[in-house]
Amino acid sequence: MKLNPAQDQAVKFISGPCLVLAGAGSGKTRVITNKIAHLVRECEMPARFIAAVTFTNKAAREMKERVTQTLSKAEARGLKVSTFHTLGLNIIKSNVIALGLKPGFSLFDDKDTMALLKDLTEVEYDGDKDLLKFLQTSISNWKNDLLLPEQLLKTAHSQEEKQLAEYYRQYQSHLRAYNALDFDDLILMPTLLLKHNEAARLKIQSKIKYLLVDEYQDTNTSQYDLVKLLVGERRRFTVVGDDDQSVYSWRGARPKNLQLLQEDFPELNVIKLEQNYRSSGRVLHCANILIQNNPHIFDKTLFSEMAYGETLKVVVAKNEDHEAERVIAELIAHKFINNTHFEDYAILYRGNHQSRVFEKLLMTNRIPYKISGGTSFFGRPEIKDIMAYLRLVVNQDDDNALLRIINTPNRGIGRATLEKLGNFANEKQTTMFSAACDDDLRGVLAGQAYFAVSQFSRWIVEVSDNAVRGDTEAVVRDLIKSIGYEEWLYEHSASPKAAEMAMANISTLFKWVTNMLKGTSTEPAMSLSEVVNRLILRDMMERGEDEGDGDQVQLMTLHASKGLEFPYVYMVGMEEGLLPHQSSIDEDNVEEERRLAYVGITRAQRELTFSIARERRQYGEVINPEPSRFLYELPSDDVEWEFDKPQKTAEERQETGVKSIANLRGMLGG
């Protein structure tokens, strides 16, 4: 497909900073991949000097695949396509000493972080989940804003602020002691390094001569600073974004970064992609009208050359059960009449809790479905266990990993033993593993307990040494066998089938590990430490990002739907308090909720149906919600409310009947 004039302009402009304002469905990925090809072929820039950055592994994979379809292997050699966090991890690996880390550092996921914070706040918080979650979010936000504990301790006024800052200081101190980083450190540390270390900055700038950033509107403060530091004085970059699709403020995203870009780079060339290749004219018209109610940094109006299309419909139900019945009945009837596939349909909602009633009905009607956000591969207990073993093998300072597997499978090391070991480690001001290897441990643990702990620690040291010096692949294989994990699984699983499936998952993990150890034509061979960190990062990045497979109705939140498209979309729960969400109404942040509705509307290619309930259960009470203000903001001529629906004529009813019979005959092979 030929590039349209705006796309062509965006591809060919390479002389300075460029912002491509890409509306929904306007072909932004095509622009990025074509621009990479243009830089390599027409501008004769070797691919190894080009870096493309995005937010999810899925988007990075798709971009890589698109590029390989355009460029030959030789032309694409050395091209860097990754997420922000993978890029950050690579910078950290190259500057371990400068950052004060030891080689073989660990990555903490959100559960590891929560476990550490729980330990640090045990006396004051007593395991209060809300307080812990607030502390975890606060630390994440501070890191995203490049704020360190020392700065916060100086500026804290109230006792609460001082306490939070002190917990942050202790948390960072413990991470350093464990030789570990958390998810936010993967951006914070490279950004601070490049800001304060000129030699490191010049070195990495010499390796990246052109930078492309996708979904730029989702960047936070530290990511924007990292972008500026990477491009340096050369100022050759392209960022692609859409302020109308910025829906992640709760994750630190700042659509204001689009405005800052103009201030920091006055020569910025802004190119608008306004032609939509996804949706009908009517869907786009409604989306444009809705989003006009928000203030804009840059004005744009999407247009489509496709047919104007079907009227948008609003289905009205008595309550949430009736809503699900109506939507599923509409979906079944629509599929039958139009001879479509289940995968053509998506049900989108504001909150995960709304999915349950739809799942129940889909199961009752034996309709295959896929719900986004199920247990990820790395979330499975058997994978977490084996990963904990690998984490401890590459980094003995990882207390969380040790606690998970020191008695899995059973080694006779109970809670009382672990408590004594933990107290001993605190006295010695060292990690639990170092404490387990300490000569003085005999005075703390007696008999069998001492023997079990010291035997485990000696074994880990041996495995770790063999992994570095010997055949790493064979060491990993022997590790899984020697712990007797398969036998233990069959004893403790709900059924032999469950144990079998768990072992199949471990086999998959082992294949990934061995492939990464060996390397491929596009990825160099890695050490075991690098493999473990890459897998932990993959887990953190891919949660809720599972690929759809087979002919299934898609159920997902509006946030999860971003970047996807479906022929037929049902946006359910279109009520005040749900969309816009009550917390956003209370915080006067309805603009972001409107952007979220805009994202939902622009997922639809052909037809869009909204649903509302007159009654809804909320916290044990029955409420009577009002229809969402966003429904009233849509052009009335393009939206058909159920109670305003004109009655079908006899000819229309006959036509529908004939169509249904034809489809039935087709299904029966008649």
Please list the active-site residues: 28-29, 214-215, 245, 603
Residue (of 152, 255, 271, 97) closest to 589 by Cα position: 255
Dump the DSSP string for 244-276.
GG---GGGT--TTHHHHHHHH-TT-EEEEE-B-
Contacts of 357 (CB under 8 A, 6+ apart): 320, 321, 323, 324
CA distance 599 to 52: 24
**Antiparallel, parallel or unpaired: β 80-83 and 50-54:** parallel
CA end-to-end span of the chain: 39
Handedness of CA 538, 541, 543, 549 (dihedral sign): negative
Dump the DSSP string for 107-122.
EE-HHHHHHHHHHHTH
Rounded to 5 degrees, φ, ψ at 248 are -120, 35
Residue (of 305, 270, 299, 298) closest to 284 by Cα position: 305
Contacts of 304 (CB under 8 A, 6+ apart): 275, 276, 277, 278, 279, 280, 281, 284
Round the CA-based radius of gyration of the chain to a whole number and report it. 28
**Strands of 210-213's sheet in order across:** 80-83, 50-54, 210-213, 237-241, 18-22, 269-273
Strands (E), 443-578: 553-557, 566-571
DSSP state at residue 551: S
Per-residue CA distances from 393 to 102, 116, 180, 325, 515 (Å) = 15, 20, 14, 52, 19
CA distance 493 to 548: 28
Strands (E), 426-509: none
Strands (E), 58-205: 80-83, 106-108, 180-182
Alpha carbon 418 to its chain's center: 35
Q: What burial letters (b/e) apply to 126-164, b meaning 16+ CB within 10 Å?
A: eeeeeebeebbebbbbbbbebbebeebeeeeeeeeeeeb
